[in-house]
Amino acid sequence: MAQDADSIVYKNVLPWRGCEKLYLNTRTADVFFVFESDDEDTVKIGAHKSILSANSEAFDAMFYGPAKQEGDIPIVDSTPEAFKEFLQFFYLGTVKLTADNAAGVWNLGKQYMVDDCSMASSNFSEQTLTLDNMCWGYELAILFEQDRLMKFCEQKISENPKEIFKSNGFLTCGSNVLARILQLESLNCDESVVFDGCVAWAKAACIQKGLDETNMQNLRNQLGDLFYEIRFGDMTAEKFFMRYRAYEKMFSTEECKDIFGMIASMDYQPPKFNRNARMAVLKLNKNTDQLICDRIDPTCHHEKYSLQNSRDDTVFSSNCTLLLKAIQCNELFHYEFACNKSTSNAAHSTNTIPAVMNVIELSNERWEKNDSYYQYNKKTIYGAQVILHSSHGTIVHLSTPIVIRPDRKYNITFEVTFDGCYTLMTMKRRVQMEQGVEIGFHERKFGQANSIRPHLIHANGNQGLVKQLIFVKFEE
């Protein structure tokens, strides 16, 4: 209680105490909601028009609008238990929700335009959902257009796809939920796990409908066009072949050709299959926040390494799946040549050197001996304008971290604006890190050696501009 010279302010609890006493009070009720059932007696739940209309435009229109309803109000799309929990929002200061009625309360909140009810149901679901019923919560979030809960469920599904695909909630979810899951770009698993989950879902759907779940055509019919949302292009040839051998009749001849085309070439675009690679949102390993691949070899004598054609290439691979977060470069120097070509000044002409950096995913390399050139499939997965320094090294933080997969090689390229650039330091060809992680650096030639293009772009495994790679690892 507070007071001033002319008045006293007192916190009055009588209104909400009185309102709580009116909850489900049939003696004072002026409207009854009726629930009928074929095998049970009619249930009537009493309420008060003025209280309901004060907190719901839908109820206000029902009781006092131009087309107001008189007498008892029949309810056909809710159970009595869910409706009682729903009415708590109009009468009680503390609301208690149960898992059995959460969906019903949610639906009533949306139907009668009670935002607090929808928000409370969403919070309740976040607090009570487990991996086993996460897909059930996701389905509710989609049905009732609850963006916050949808994002919550998508995050949990993306982080735990292996457990989700084995859960009862996933195996019994609707095809609309499966479609949304397959469209997630952040599923943290190999695509073969996604395929196995889809097959398990299709088998469960067949059993529910009384169909033979061992019939491959039945499985395929349950998936329908969702089959094309599986990112087969992200699988290795070995993993796809294992699944093709087990479920051969699920695939047509043309679909097999398309899948092998996607696996063999990143440039191949099939007419139906989703070709986009997933970009997983990875959980940091609990043992370390980051893994630093330090290439500097302190035992070796450092020699000058000149960029060829104003370009540097660093080709590397990993023995496990990682997330590349940053790239650290050596100091980059620039020779300024004098007019007399026989002499040169080794002074740095500038302290900063603009460059274009790209990260390129390589696959399916082969050497064409007759034409003397290397052939490979490539896809640029990251690009940025950067500034390299002569006075100190440069660290490039990737705005979008890159998933590094163990069955591929990656080329980090820097193309500078000046001729005659060079760097120092001798690098390791192989770096062993914690948790069994190993990064290999590869000598590699790109391009074609002929009269038109007489030089090859050369990547030396123990020299170059990149001196550190900074990763995080998938959590096992």
Tokens of 294: 């330090």
**C-alpha distance from residue 132 to each of 136, 153, 154, 169, 190 (Å):** 9, 12, 14, 6, 21
For the record, the structure tokens of 352 come out as 């900063």
Residue 185 has what pLDDT? 82
- In angstroms, rounded to a whole number, what is the distance separating the alpha carbons of residues 122 and 323? 32
Question: In this predicted structure, what is the pLDDT of residue 368?
Answer: 52
Buried-exposed string 1-28: b where 16+ CB fall within 10 A, e elsewhere? eeeeeeeeeeeeeeeeeeeeebbeeeee
Q: 134 in a domain, yes or no?
A: no
CA distance 202 to 377: 35
Residue 137 forms part of a structural domain: no
- Do 262 and 179 sit in the same domain of this protein? yes
CA atoms within 13 A on the CB side of 168: 4
Residues 277 and 176 in one domain: yes
Calpha distance 274→381 (Å, rounded) = 17
> Does 235 fall in a domain?
yes
Asked if 159 contacts 188 with a C-beta cutoff of 8 angstroms, the reply is yes
Total domain count, the chain: 3
Residue 370 has a pLDDT of: 47
271 and 180, same domain (yes or no): yes
Is residue 419 domain-resident?
A: yes
Q: Do 161 and 201 touch, CB atoms closer than 8 A?
A: no
Out of 281, 299, 317, a domain closes at: 281
User: What is the predicted pLDDT for the residue at 345?
Assistant: 45
- Report yes or no: 443 and 348 within 8 Å, Cβ to Cβ: no
Q: Are residues 322 and 432 in the same domain?
A: yes
Using CA atoms, how far residue 399 sits from 362, 366, 382, 385, in Å, is 21, 32, 9, 12
Give every residue of the chain whose pLDDT is below 70, as ranges.
1-5, 13, 38-40, 118, 120-125, 266, 279-289, 335-350, 364-377, 444-461, 474-476
HSE-up of residue 162 (Cα within 13 Å, Cβ side): 6
CATH number (domain holding residue 50): 3.30.710.10
The domain that holds 403 is classified in CATH as: 2.60.120.820
Dihedral angle of Cα 157, 160, 164, 165, to the nearest 10 degrees: 110
For residues 66, 69, 75, 77, the Cα torsion angle rounded to the nearest 10 degrees is -10
Is 321 inside a domain boundary?
A: yes
pLDDT at 289: 62
Which residue from 249, 243, 245 is spatially nearest to 230, judged by alpha carbons? 243
469: containing domain: 291-473
Residues 184 and 66 in one domain: no
pLDDT value, residue 83? 93
| Residue 410 shares a structural domain with residue 338 | yes
Would residue 133 count as lying in a domain?
Answer: no
Check whether residue 66 and residue 152 sit in a common domain: no
Asked, for residue 138, whether it belongs to a domain, the answer is no
Residues 27 and 92 in one domain: yes
Q: What pLDDT does 474 receive?
A: 62
Is residue 444, in this structure, part of any structural domain at all? Answer: yes
260: left (phi over 0), alpha (psi -120 to 50) or beta: alpha
